[in-house]
Structure 1
Amino acid sequence: MATAVPRTTGSDSSVVDVEMVEASEIRRRTRPGDRVSPPGDWGEWRQRDVAQGDQPTSLERVFADQRVPSWREQLTVRAFVASFFLAVMFNIIVMKLNLTIGVIPSLNVSAGLLGFFFVRLWTSAIERMGLLKQPFTRQENTVIQTCVVAAYGIPYSGGFGNYLLAMSGRIASQTTEANNPQNIKNPHLGWIIGFLFLVSFIGLFGLVPLRKIMIIDYKLTYPSGTATAYLINGFHTPHGAKIAEKQVKKLGKFLVLSFLWGFFQWFYTATDECGFQKFPSLGLQAFNNRFYFDFSSTYVGVGMICPHIVNVSILLGGILSWGIMWPLIANKRGSWFSADLPESSLRGMQGYRVFIAIAVILGDGLYHFLKMLILTVYSLRSRLKTGSASPFPVSDDEISNSTAAISYDEQRRKELFQKDQIPWYIAYGGYVAVAAVSIGTVPQIFPQLKWYQILVAYMVAPVLAFCNAYGAGLTDWSLVTTYGKLAIFAFGAWTGASNGGVLAGLAACGVMMSIVSTACDLMQDFKTGYLTLASPRSMFISQIIGTAMGCVIAPCVFWLFYKAFEDVGVSGSEYPAPNAAIFRSMAILGVDGFSSLPKNCITLCYIFFVGAIAVNLIRDLVPKKVSRFMPIPMAMAIPFYLGPYFGIDMFIGTVILFVWQRLDKVKSDTYAPAVASGLICGDGLWVLPQSMLALAKVKPPICMKFLSRGVNAKVDAFIATLS
């Protein structure tokens, strides 16, 4: 969802495309054509050598005495056992984030770190018994990383926090528009698993034949995949292994503390209106406008991982919307919209919250879509004209640094990357076979979406997947949800309001997002495998196995949430799933047009749509020292619907990180991701016992609630009359 991008990872992620938001910061640190500075001890060696004027150290010479295992040896049973348990844990965490705020930070570091730790622990124990047959290698670590990230990517690309949940009657009932039976399909474990298996694999076959062109010929950077590779390479050096063990200890310590804090808070949440998450820390008036700190270790941890500007942008968006705009618009009740409308009606206050947020999202998405398209066309045109492997100019310094060490590394990597080929007939045959099955069966799940519409989607998808994967290779931007939103409008309008266009648009969004997302993720993995000498064949198989795990684990985890917490998707609940309401509103807008908008809403939407484009344009035109202080429109749109409370938590996380960086930058850079991951993982794991207690109808014993002085006096007086 890594980037630092959720597997752009981010990765969107997202909330509304937070993987794109986080990717923007990697993009600014790593401009197209830049060399990515590898983290860990290898990065330190290289930077030291360059600073001293020496030739850069060859990474592959460090591992020269280690035999590279065959692709079959890289696919070990212990790797997939570890991957399965990590996939379950990360699916729970990502699902919780999906259903609460939609912000999904990069968990790639945690996946790689824990994968390294568990298998190293396993092999060390077996080695002491004298039974170790195969040592733990960086290639096997890459297989684990690929499998886990593919598995926990399904909760996002599978739409559990957006398009899939948006189909449900629970979301539809919150509006008076398009809530007829033909536009509703309630979640059920069987059809969800079947749908995911039909649409999640086809993207893996689409771009496989282009792997050599993208990785070797075009030398696309894929900053997230490159950073992940250097992280894994660093783990497997002696110094890197010691640092990894310390990081795991930090992660484990804060995981336990976060888990216990979640357990402690549970005792005070007898109803939805009780507990620390309803603590009016900024006053009751601010609390009524959703300004409060809710003591969530998850959001604090997310704030420590997301770039500072992302957290600040989210808080600014909350202040702009819930602090200024919504109170002013609420004063127009009875003038701009009927005072008798329920709070959830899109023709009333809810319409402004949802559609202005959509305008910002679409403006931001359209800007980056066009920018990526122009960049891709320009890059390809430059390659065709010059025959250059890179569309960007190479400086004299880069030419002089092209040493024998680098040549050795590249030669070694090219040799192994081209060794285990994936036959073209498997790629094309797999795409055609999966597409044929999908075209025949998806309409059985969604009768509103016709077979010829799916055929058109599969004909267009490889082109869009290539554009997305190519753009991600240049800039680390993955526009997955942008393509999904285009599908909502295109297929929804094609189907029409009278034929279930809302549901057809959401289903088409799922088809498109799955193809584009998995294709981009696979190319990122190929880049990681290229730099760690992992076989493309093992990467491909690992991605397939991880995707299969995700197609089963993610629906089961979602079903646990959906059954244990009966208010999933309900605005104002513990799991409001804001993106589900936003995606459904987009689908309604796509088939009904602007007729459903309240007075002056369309004008405000135009203003914010243009404003999002203008802010992005300014960010790209002004100098970097100025642009890094410019807010990110996509991040600002996140609290428009949900409220600013989680932005306050994330801002506290960013303040903690900022202070830590000022006090000890080396330690903060080394341990902050582990501490943040521990906070997120611990609180996420608490969801499992909390769900079990909810399913068993075990209620917390205490309600901690806050009242104003006047209300408290009335309550005391009422209680006195009873005694």
Structure 2
Amino acid sequence: MTITSGPESSLDVSTDPNVTEKPQPEFTLRAIIPGLLIGCLLCFTNLYFGLQTGWISMMSLQSALLGYLLSLAPGFPKLPKFTAQENVILQTVAVATGTMPLAAGFVGIIPALGLLNVEEDGQGPLILGFWQGIGWASAVAFFGVFLAAPLRKQVIIKENLPFPSGTATAQLISVMHNETPPSLRHRHPRSQPQSGEYTALSADDPERLPPSTQPSAEEAEEADALLSRSELKRSASEGWRALAWSFLASAVLTLGAYFLPVLFFIPVFDIFYSGLASDWLWWFSPSLSYVGIIMGFPITLSMNLGMLTGWAILSPLAHYQGWAPGPVGDMQTGSRGWILWVSLSIMCAESVVSLLPVVWEAILLLLPHRQKPAEDEDEERLVPTKWWAWGLGLTALLGVGGVWAVFRDEGGKIWAVAVGFLMGGVLSVLGVRALGETDLNPVSGLGKISQLLFAVLQPGNVVANIIAGGVAEAGAQQAGDLMQDLKTGHLLHTAPRAQLYSQLLGSLLSIFVTVGAYDLYKRAYPIPGPSFPAPTAYVWLSLARLLRDGSLPPKSGVFMLASAGLAIAVASVKVYAQRRGYSWAKWVPSGVAFAIGFLNTPSFSIARLIGGIIEYMYYRRVGKGHEGIWLIIVASGFVLGEGTMSVLTLVFKTLGIGAVTCWGCQGGICPSC
């Protein structure tokens, strides 16, 4: 089936009222196949970084950029012209394929189950085989997709929530395809924006544009001719070179670090105090992919503030006070495991505060005086009500059956699993609204709320508790990803039905890619282990154990309460500032980013800060229009270079090809030994 875009999607409208524009293709093979290929690469990349740091990226900007560059490559079908709508479909497929490692819990939930032991949990480790992994991923991969369709009309059409990443992706695509920027498209003529409306930024003036500006024919023509054909070819050629060089630099450095680990574990801080690298895990990793160029300067500041608090203050304090007497890097007896509890309290507190206004708005929507939103798409381009209704019902039934088939009664009674899916649906709605307003999908916090509920429904069952959190996380992740994509599609007039097909197709392929990739990593490395610590696995397991027996490491409870109180105060200020539209809201520390600084070793946060500074300085000098694309290209090359090379080093590891020398390995971490 081919989904086509309607007549509103083109800027070249015939002046003859009796002539209608020929619909442009959207859901096409030349959009789907590159999207799947890019998504597979992103899937490996996200699994690699997720197991290392607990942090993955939606990568919608990178997917759209790569798709556009591929469309200009020799051999790509040129007729008809590759459209912006096809690029939306391409990035929707890629995102669905690339984010499954988080949605299906392979960077947290599944490694956590492997950490179980009989003494503490009453249950030995649960190591899923390949087909068990397929069963689990299939059970949770589609439920959240059908949750997004009924929410679209409310949060995108009526309330017009910002969904900043989705809007930024639409802006990037409009710039690359030389179409009128989304900020100039007024699908519903009106003089003033509605409450909560977000106006996308202009390609030429990314900072301000009057929301009531109406484009003239000349402006539309000018926007459609931003670059001449020769300039377009030259820009594409330069873009490929920038991507190739950044990819090559990151790949060579990654491969070199595999054979010479000291390249990624440079003990630069030992000049201040001997042993900071080996004993306290303070080293510098010049990984180009860790440089968070696209993450944003304010977020990297929050992350480093958390890193300094956790690793420079609390970690030495816990160790020297005897509260965590083991080796610093030990998650059970060392200070890394001790500060994990403080991180957990911050995450939970931030999640609760950030969700409270979302819950209030959701309650208000149930009031009878609320006007139903009017749809702006043709009926044949929408997802029919019976589709998403049947989809929700069938995926919930298959999900409950699939989870029970994989884990049986170890994962909880079948009725409790059903309650878990119901809870996941409710929490996903909250996650979508939070994502739309703040660009942050609090999937981890939503999963922990589900864990709290299951501490009552299935007391003492650690496995059921973790799985319940995983179901909620999966639903929120999938619904949020598709909603961001639907925002992009709405701004660029892409059929929601075509995007639903894209999400389902990408998710289906990614089940096998994610499970296969995880199985390869598991065969080559211990997970969690020195090379892939899977820090979020300990967060899931620690909360489940706390809810089971209430035991905490010495003195950690006092610090958890204090940090939770501070997190609530800071999060309240941030939420208030965001909802009032204050520009300084972005500089209020993010609790989630702050907590991530606790989970990962300092090298991760330091590299991210360097990238944040580079991004801040670059955009101050050149802005975020056409020139801003180059930063995205270079950052994409860095991430994809290391992610791709990780597959090769995985093959080396499997074949027994190791490092030339293990000199420089720090804290027991050596990727090739």
Which of 622, 631, 634 lines up with 2:589 in the alignment? 631
State the 4+ residue runs in structure 1 displaced beyond 6 angstroms. 340-343
Match of 1:585 among 542, 560, 564: 542
Partner of 2:314: 325
The CA distance in 1 between the partners of 2:243 and 2:508, in whole Å, is 28
| Shift, 1:547, TM fit | 0.8
Q: Which residue, out of 284, 293, 299, partners 1:310? A: 299
* Letter in structure 2 aligned against 1:429: W
Query: Residue in 2 aligned with 1:357?
Result: 343
Matched, 1:649 2:594: no
Partner amino acid, structure 1, of 2:381 = D
In 1, distance between residues paired with 2:597 and 2:371? Answer: 47
Distance 1:125 1:342, change over 3 A: closer
Instruction: Write the mapping of 1:406-417 to structure 2, written as runs, cut at 5 A.
Output: 414-416=376-378
Say which of 381, 406, 430 aligns to 1:445: 406
Query: In structure 2, what is the Cα distance between the partners aligned to 1:292 and 1:320?
Result: 17
Is the counterpart of residue 180 in structure 1 residue 123 in structure 2? Answer: yes
Residues 163 and 510 in structure 1, CA contact (< 8 A), matched pair in contact too:
yes
How far the C-alpha of 1:620 sits from its partner, in A, is: 4.3
User: 1:107: Cα distance to partner?
Assistant: 1.7
CA displacement 1:76-128 (0-9 Å, x = unmatched): 22222212211121111111110111222452111001112213326x6555x
Please name the residue that 1:511 is paired with: 471
Distance 1:193 1:90 in 2: 19
**Structure 1 residue aligned with 2:554:** 599
User: Alpha carbons of 1:689 and 1:215: their partners in 2 closer, same or farther (altered >3 Å)?
Assistant: same
Counterpart position of 1:47: none
Alignment partners' CA distance in 1, 2:127 and 2:300: 34
* Other-structure match for 1:115: 67
Matched residue, 2:54: 102
Q: Distance in 1 between matches of 2:611 and 2:636?
A: 12
1:665-707 per-position Cα deviation (integer Å, ceiling 9, x unaligned): 4676231121111111111111011011111101222333389
Asked if the contact 2:296/2:615 (under 8 Å) is kept, the reply is no
Partner deviation per Cα, 1:499-518 (whole Å, 9 max, x = no partner): xx111111112222222222
* Residue 684 in structure 1 maps to residue 643 in structure 2: yes
Deviations 1:195-216 (A, max 9, x none): 1112211222234244334433
Aligned counterpart, 1:278: 265
Is the CA contact 1:114–1:248 (under 8 Å) kept in the aligned structure 2? no
- Give CA-to-partner distance per residue, 1:40-77, whole Å, 9 cap, x none: xxxxxxxxxxxxxxxxxx9956353695646xx42222
Which amino acid in structure 1 is aligned with residue 281 of structure 2? R
1:235–1:244 contact (8 Å) kept in structure 2: no
Distance across 2 between alignment mates of 1:630 and 1:526: 29
Compare 185-194 and 618-627 and name the one that shifted more: 618-627
- After TM superposition, list the pairs within 5 Å mapping 1:175-254 onto structure 2: 177-178=120-121, 180-181=123-124, 184-237=125-178, 239=226, 241=232, 243=235, 246-254=238-246
Q: 1:617 aligns with which of 551, 566, 572?
A: 572
Cα 1:547–1:69, aligned 2, differ >3 Å: closer, same or farther? farther
Mapped partners of 2:346, 2:175: distance in 1? 40
Greater helix proportion = 1
Q: Output aligned runs, 1:259-278, within 5 Å.
A: 259-269=251-261, 275-278=262-265
CA positional deviation for 1:371: 2.9
Residue 223 of structure 1 aligns with an amino acid whose one-letter code is P
1:343-374 alpha-carbon deviations (Å, 9 max, x no partner) = 74646645522211111111111111213212
The match for 2:427 is 464
TM superposition shift of 1:590: 1.8
The answer (yes or no) to whether the contact 2:355–2:430 under 8 Å persists in 1 is: no
TM-score of the pair, normalised by structure 1: 0.76
CA distance in 2, matches of 1:213, 1:629: 29
Measured in 2, the distance between the counterparts of 1:61 and 1:450 equals 54
Percent identity between the aligned chains?
25
Residues in 1 aligned to 2:83 and 2:338: alpha-carbon distance in whole angstroms: 54
- For the 8 Å contact 1:311–1:654, the answer to whether it is kept is yes
Deviation, 1:618, is: 3.0
Q: 1:415 to 1:279 in 2, by over 3 A?
A: closer
Aligned to 1:374: 360
Q: Work out the number of aligned pairs and report it.
A: 594
The answer as to whether partners of 1:106 and 1:305 remain within 8 angstroms in 2 is no
Question: What is the TM-score of this pair, normalised by structure 2?
Answer: 0.81
Q: Does the 8 A contact of 2:112 with 2:541 survive in 1?
A: yes
Task: Give the aligned CA root-mean-square deviation in angstroms.
Answer: 3.0
The change in CA–CA distance for 1:663 and 1:152 in structure 2 (over 3 A counts) is: same
Shifted more, 678-687 versus 695-704: the winner is 695-704
CA gap of 1:308–1:179, structure 2 versus 1, over 3 A, is farther
Task: Give the partner amino acid of 2:458.
Answer: T
SS of the equivalent of 1:251 reads: helix
Q: Distance in 2 between matches of 1:646 and 1:315?
A: 9
Structure-2 change in CA distance of 1:434 and 1:652 (3 Å):
closer
CA distance in 2, matches of 1:465, 1:523: 11
Report SS of the residue matched to 1:705: coil
Indicate yes or no: 2:288 matched with 1:297. yes
For residues 543 and 13 of structure 2, what CA distance do their matches in structure 1 show?
A: 54
SS at match of 1:286: coil
Task: Work out the CA distance in 1 between the residues paired with 2:89 and 2:108.
Answer: 29
| C-alpha distance in 2 between matches for 1:344 and 1:108 | 36
In structure 2, what is the equivalent of residue 673 of structure 1? 632
